[in-house]
Structure 1
Amino acid sequence: MSQFGFLQGFLDFFSPNSMMGSDVTACQALGSIFNNVTIYPTDTRYDALATENWSQTAWGSPTCIFQPTTVGELQTALPILVEANSSFAVRSGGHMPVSKAANIDKGVLIDMSKFGGTQYDAENAVINVGAGQRWGDVYTALDPLGVTIAGGRVMSAGVGGLILGCGLSYLSDLYGLVCDNVVNFEVVLADGSVVNANADSNSDLFWALKGGSNNFGIITNFKLRTFPIFDVWGGTKGYPFEALPDVLDALAEFQTNPEKDPYAQFNMNAYVTNTTFGVVLSLVYLKPDVKPAAFDPFYRIESSWATTMDTTSLRTLHNLMSEYPIPSIPRVEWTTTSFVPSSSMYSAIRKIFASSSSVNKMKEITAGTGIFTLQGVSARAVHEGNQRGGNALGLKPVPQSWFHTDLGWWFSDDDVAAHEAIRSLTDEVEAAAKSEDSYLPYLFMNDASLDQQVIKHYGEDNVKRLREVQQKYDPSEVFQKLVPGGFKLP
């Protein structure tokens, strides 16, 4: 009997007439074929894998965990899940704190961590990256080669989720977003077939995967462009929280400069509920030039405020990104909105954080640590993405700030209060942006919250086009119906 015939007989035996749930049926079928890589709650490996996601808000209790090691195993497994009508989730690194985006209860968790490894093609200046890799592993592989990629800035984050959500890089002003620098996606579709999506083959799917999340298939490999950037200048500067107005004024000047240097990048975090941490500013200049003039607005802050820390120096880009601060708090949620930067908009944000009742509610939560972050995206970054085939995001080619608020806390009893506080605060910022006529209708998926309608914000035309791609490559809507987590097509 063929493997498929055996599988069909197995699934028929455990038909809907039995007392067994579809998830159990799928796990039994997977285990009968892939015993060593199908992990049940009785397995000693299970607990660590079920709770590997970075935030406890994303932990789950899957019926089983499937760890494919080859594309062929995944090709066999996906039709099993479809035939059993079993829900499932796919996890690359599990950095997203959104509940069930990369984990699941009473379903199958497909853990892609065995899809590791990198292969560098110097002739074409590209690197093949397994979908289970983390960014720190990729940069480590590239370091001896003296090149880098437009990749993630948090070393522990997974490659797959960040790229499919679009991804923001310190190289974005030069070369576009992370998703814009994918040359090829290797994709396993719901029927078990494998396709390559690139500019010449399945180009409609290629476009859709750049921001389309987990709605079309499972990516097993990404081919990414590389660039000869290695030694840089930059690091982290800390300021007392009282310096926030001056930091924001400098930020507005920096971002609105019509001659903004695309090699100069920043990331700003302000700790609004624990002001002893103050303001943390990451500066990155993608050349080995000490104290480049592009950052003059920030140097002037120090005429009024002494830094609480300063790690800026000549170093490698990988080394610089490795010091990005990641709070060690067990439960995390974040929300996002976007706007055109200006001094008046940043002034409005200062007033909100000084007076909002939501900040007080955050302080009332056990260990409630609220941080707001500003990330800059230039008009050039949008143009660069368009030059590389475009993406599904619907971005306007204007300078913009991608704002997000993070909240960390200890106990699950505070989950509802934390969610309400952080959403309320972001709603206030969004309302201010609308009143300033600076609001942009884009939500950065990698920083979005559970109930934010990310893909709807890509615009009506892009949503329609995404639906057309979905009907072509997943006509049964498997990744809409059986993959409940993540950001779905509206």
Structure 2
Amino acid sequence: MFAAKRILTTLVLTHLATCSPVIEERTLTPSPVCLQIAAAISSASDVYYFGHPLYTKGVYHWASSSSQNPLCVVEPGAASDIGTILGIVGSTQTPFAVKGGGHASNPGFSSTTGVHISMYRFSAINYDAAAQTVEIGSGLIWDDVYAALAPYNVNVVGGRVTGVGVAGFTLGGGYSWKSNQYGLTIDTVTAYELVKPDGTVVTVTDALDPGLFSALKGGLNNFGIVTKFTLKTFPQTQVWGGLITITEAFIPDVAAATAAFQANVNDPKAAIITTYNFLLGEPGISQLLFYDGPTPPAGIFDDFLAIPYFTKDVSTRSFLSLVQASPSNATAGTRAIFNTVSVLDYTPALLDVILNETTFWGINLSLKTGVFISYDVEPFLPSIYSHNAETTAFPPVRTLGLLPFNIYFAWLDPSFDTDFQNAARATAATVFNAAVAEGQSNLIGAPVYPNYAIFDTPLSQIYGSNLATLQSLKATIDPTNVMGLAGGFKF
């Protein structure tokens, strides 16, 4: 079945070649606001219009449903120019977007019909061996960061699969292969370079501005535009792991192994993602295994390795090689939506519910051009939030070892967008209710991960008791609500 990924790629390419463009056509007459920006920015930056290759590159998203056709694409190359741009869009009340890696699944979160700011030029990576930190630009993807740090035998707490952008991932929290050891990515940030809504460029640290520093840790793009992150680095050897694909007949064995792993494995260097997929007519498993060392201790992954497999790519390798072994780009170019719930325990009974949801929605949504129905089971240690004693915007509660759970649907026809979004809401409710019914009552009112949450998730479900403080800070830093002109979850 998993050879079907090649068939899926063919289906997607055929659809994109034969259907009308996802992005609506724009007039070729430059917008006055774009002309004003072009006249005001320095030679470090540029403005591109419809038809230019860098316009196309600028608006591109991993999910085609996340792209829109803006008045122009601006590629700033200096933080001061971003300040100029914010001044212009704010004074003209022009909607705008800020895009880092372009991996957002929510429509309109990093795209716009107004002015599109593409951060590609913020791509510097500067490692400081003495401080054991690295400065990384907000236009990078994690693959770039891992490759640059590999010669120094160090690494950061970053994305687990290929192609994910640094900026959105970090500003929303950041679950990593190394989170059991060091926490979320936000727990390892030591400084931000931020362009505030009033155009000033500041360095934000805990010492200089503790309130804003905490708010940026999970607070997304509410407080301005981040151009650079400074992260702690950690020693990095070769790692062990990779991808195993497993067919329907052996899903019960995978479920048993996954539940046992979460219940019994306490080694912080070990991690898994068990993904239930429905692809081309049947359910199956994509199993990612990870150990932060060249060889895992005996017994940790034996249950998974004993299961008959369809394909297997597990070895001792570089960290970047393991990340790029993930299948996350198999459906690039399709329409997509994420949704999520938090859970406390991936029990065998809950995994049965997830399998049933995979099959039910896979069968039903395939009739509406659904090409990939996926549920990511992501166990972590209960201590995952104990690595940071500071207050952070997300998670608002660090006393519960909440586990993220990602629902991902991909389809082809935009006329079914609402159907898939409603299905993502319905299936999240089913999984949540099943978890509560089996005794996970602490989940009632528990926060959900912003980077997985569907676009209409109430802010209170993400930020909980932190919300009022974040809203007050936002009003102070951005009194004219410039950042409210951009997409995303807004305080």
Give the TM-score range, shorter chain.
Answer: 0.7 to 0.9
Conserved 8 A contact 2:61-2:102 = yes
The aligned counterpart of 2:189 is: 182
Structure 2 CA distance for aligned equivalents of residues 367 and 324 of structure 1: 21
Shift of 1:474: 1.6
102, 115, 135: which one aligns with 2:110: 102
More moved, 309-318 vs 217-226: 309-318
For 2:275, the equivalent position in structure 1 comes to 269
Kindly provide the CA deviation profile for residues 163-185 of structure 1, in whole angstroms up to 9, marking residues without a partner as x: 01111100001000011111101
Q: Which residue of 2 aligns with 1:377?
A: 380
Counterparts of 2:310 and 2:151, CA distance in 1: 34
Q: Secondary structure of 1:379's match? A: coil
2:238 corresponds to which letter in structure 1?
Answer: D
Task: Give TM-score scaled by structure 1 length.
Answer: 0.87
- What residue in structure 1 maps to residue 78 of structure 2? 70
Worse overlay, 125-134 or 406-415: 406-415
Counterpart CA distance in 1 for 2:108 and 2:392 is 29
> Is 1:408 the equivalent of 2:410?
yes
Match of 2:436 in 1: 434
Alignment partner, residue 4 of structure 1: none
Unaligned runs of 5+ in 2: 1-29
Query: What code does the residue aligned with 2:163 have?
Result: S
- Partner residue of 1:56 out of 60, 64, 71: 64
Once the 2 structures are TM-superposed, how far is the Cα of residue 40 of structure 1 from its aligned partner?
Answer: 4.4
Q: Amino acid of the residue matched to residue 149 of structure 1? A: V
The amino acid that maps onto 1:282 is: L
Distance verdict in 2 for CA 1:405–1:223, change over 3 Å: same
Q: Structure 1 residue 138 and structure 2 residue 145: aligned? A: yes
Bigger CA drift: 76-85 or 223-232? 76-85
Counterpart code for 2:422: E
1:465 maps to 2:472: no
Q: What is the SS of the residue equivalent to 2:300?
A: helix
| Residues 328-383 of structure 1 deviation map (CA, whole Å, 9 limit, x = unaligned) | 352111211111112332233334445x4x44321212243211111123222100
Q: Distance in 1 between matches of 2:60 and 2:260?
A: 41
Cα distance between partner residues in 1 of 2:64 and 2:396: 32
Equivalent of 1:91 in 99, 102, 114 = 99
Contact 2:98 2:118 in 1 (8 A): yes
- Structure 1, 367-376 or 54-63: larger mean CA deviation: 367-376
Answer whether contact 2:80 2:201 (CA < 8 A) is retained: no
Partner residue of 2:122 out of 115, 120, 126: 115
Larger Rg: 1
1:350 alignment partner in structure 2:
355
- What displacement does 1:472 show? 2.6
Give the SS at the match of 1:132: coil
Q: 1:50 touches 1:103 (CA, 8 Å); kept in 2?
A: no
Q: Which moved more, 1:161-170 or 1:276-285?
A: 276-285
Letter of the 2:403 partner, please give it: S
Tell me which amino acid in the other structure corresponds to 1:154. Answer: V
How far does the alpha carbon of each residue in 1:399-428 deviate from its partner, in whole angstroms, 9 at most, with x for none?
443112211111212222222222222221
Gaps of at least 5 residues in structure 1 are 1-22
Tell me the secondary structure at the aligned position of residue 234 of structure 2. Answer: coil
How far apart, in 2, do the equivalents of 1:458 and 1:425 lie? 18
2:452 to 438, 447, 450: 447
Of 360, 363, 367, the match for 1:360? 363
Paired with 1:184 and 1:389, the residues of 2 have a C-alpha distance of 15
Aligned match of 2:25: none
Cα deviations across residues 216-266 of structure 1 (Å, max 9, x unaligned)? 110010001111022111111222123222212221221123x61111011
User: How many correspondences in the alignment?
Assistant: 455
**1:269 and 1:372 in contact (8 A); partners too:** yes
What root-mean-square deviation, in Å, do the aligned CA atoms of Structure 1 and Structure 2 show?
A: 2.1
Specify the alignment match of 1:234 in structure 2.
Answer: 241
| Cα 1:186/1:360, change in 2 over 3 Å | same
- For structure 1, which segment, 392-401 or 248-257, has the greater mean C-alpha deviation from structure 2 after superposition? 392-401
Q: 1:49 to 1:353 in 2, by over 3 A?
A: closer
Q: What CA distance in whole angstroms lies between the structure 2 residues aligned with 1:479 and 1:456?
A: 19
2:450 partner letter: M
- Name the CA distance, whole Å, in 2 between partners of 1:372 and 1:104: 29
SS in 1 for 2:227: strand
Secondary structure at 1:378 match in 2: coil
Conserved? CA contact 1:92–1:132, under 8 Å: yes
C-alpha contact (below 8 Å) 2:215/2:392 kept by paired residues = no
1:246-299 Cα shifts (integer Å, max 9, x gaps): 212221221123x61111011111113446572111111101224643324434
Structure 1 residue 195 and structure 2 residue 202: aligned?
A: yes
Pair 50,221 (structure 1): closer, same or farther in 2 beyond 3 Å? closer
User: In the alignment, residue 346 of structure 1 is paired with which amino acid?
Assistant: L
1:287 corresponding residue in structure 2:
293
